[in-house]
């Protein structure tokens, strides 16, 4: 795979590791439909490229991603499984090679739920994470209603998903949501790349099989949960409550 630079996603191959960076630092790397399409294509290409042994997901500037670009999202909201965001979630769920995340700052919404599909996650000390779906009149996505209770236990998962309050990278580490912390954004990315290179040097077939075995017990249930969450998400997106909450959120973000 050749190194590729686009306006909003930077893709760089470092030996057998592919570094994929969200690149809208002035918008805290808020995700557009075009970015979802680019991420999906990049993951699918990486799956087919034998030279790529691991992928690192990161953000530019002081954020991982602040979630969806609300204006872009509402201009063409998801309507079904063929929507860009749902195709990205499918690519993420089905990705067979190691995925490592470098959370170099703010992570909101899908910026947190995507981490649940990564194999190793490292974050900058002091980074803020949040799952504000309910506050926006929406429901969880990306299988988080299944994965978070399994990972954290029901009480903690309920607190994060029902209240939607921010939490810190230090809390995430204490709860077992991430693997480690680094002092700053540069060190976080360096740590994630180091771990990815370690994985890339391991026997590829053994790594992929081990990942598959680790996820085997939840694979079918996860597919069903993502589909169910997606249907409810689309329904709620068309509700008056969500319209009011999303408009208020977009107004605050612009101010």
List pLDDT tens digits, range 12-41.
Answer: 999 999 999 999 999 999 999 999 999 999
The share of the chain scoring above pLDDT 70, in percent, equals: 95
Per-residue pLDDT reduced to its tens digit, 126-164: 999 999 999 999 999 999 999 999 999 999 999 999 999
Specify the 3-state DSSP secondary structure of 223: helix
> Lowest-confidence range among 3-7, 142-146, 177-181?
3-7
The share of the chain scoring above pLDDT 90, in percent, equals: 83
With beta carbons less than 8 A apart as the criterion, state whether 90 and 135 touch: no
pLDDT for residue 2: 39
Nearest to 67 by CA among 144, 176, 148, 180: 144
Specify the 3-state DSSP secondary structure of 32: coil
* Domain 4-254, classified CATH 3.40.50.10880, yes or no: no
pLDDT for residue 253: 61
Retrieve residue 113's tokens.
């739920």
How confident is the model over 63-86, as a mean pLDDT?
A: 87
Residues near 75 by beta carbon (within 8 Å), at least 6 away in sequence: none
Task: Tell whether the model's pLDDT for residue 4 goes beyond 60.
Answer: no
Distance, in Å, from the CA atom of 174 to the CA atom of 214, rounded to the nearest integer, reads 22
How confident is the model over 157-181, as a mean pLDDT?
A: 97
pTM: 0.94
Domain ranges, ordered by start, for the chain: 4-254
pLDDT for residue 254: 56
Give the residue, 209 or 1, on which the prediction is more confident: 209
Distance, in Å, from the CA atom of 22 to the CA atom of 14, rounded to the nearest integer, reads 17
Element of type H or E holding 41: helix 33-48
Pairing, β 106-108 against β 63-65: parallel
Q: Left (φ > 0), alpha (ψ -120 to 50) or beta: where does 169 sit?
A: alpha
With beta carbons less than 8 A apart as the criterion, state whether 29 and 22 touch: yes
């Amino acid at each position: 795979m050749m190194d590729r630079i686009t306006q909003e996603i930077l893709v760089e191959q470092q030996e057998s590791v592919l570094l994929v960076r969200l690149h809208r630092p002035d918008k805290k790397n808020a995700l557009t439909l075009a970015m979802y399409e680019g991420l999906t294509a990049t993951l699918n290409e990486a799956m087919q490229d034998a030279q790529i042994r691991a992928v690192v997901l990161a953000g530019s500037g002081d954020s991982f991603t602040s979630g969806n670009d609300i204006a872009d999202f509402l201009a063409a909201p998801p309507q079904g499984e063929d929507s860009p965001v749902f195709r990205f979630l499918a690519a993420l769920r089905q990705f067979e090679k190691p995925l490592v995340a470098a959370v170099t700052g703010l992570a909101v919404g899908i910026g947190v739920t995507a981490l649940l599909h990564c194999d190793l996650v490292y974050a900058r000390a002091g980074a803020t994470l949040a799952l504000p779906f309910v506050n926006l009149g929406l429901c969880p996505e990306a299988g988080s209603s299944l994965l978070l209770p399994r990972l954290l236990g029901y009480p903690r998962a309920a607190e994060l998903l029902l209240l939607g309050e921010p939490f810190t990278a230090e809390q995430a580490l204490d709860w077992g949501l991430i693997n480690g912390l680094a002092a700053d954004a540069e060190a976080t990315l360096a740590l994630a790349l180091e771990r990815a290179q370690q994985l890339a040097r391991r026997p590829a077939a053994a790594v992929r099989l081990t990942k598959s075995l680790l996820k085997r017990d939840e694979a079918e249930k996860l597919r069903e949960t993502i589909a169910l969450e997606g249907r409810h998400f689309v329904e709620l997106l068309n509700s008056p409550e969500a319209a009011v909450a999303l408009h208020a959120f977009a107004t605050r973000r612009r101010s």
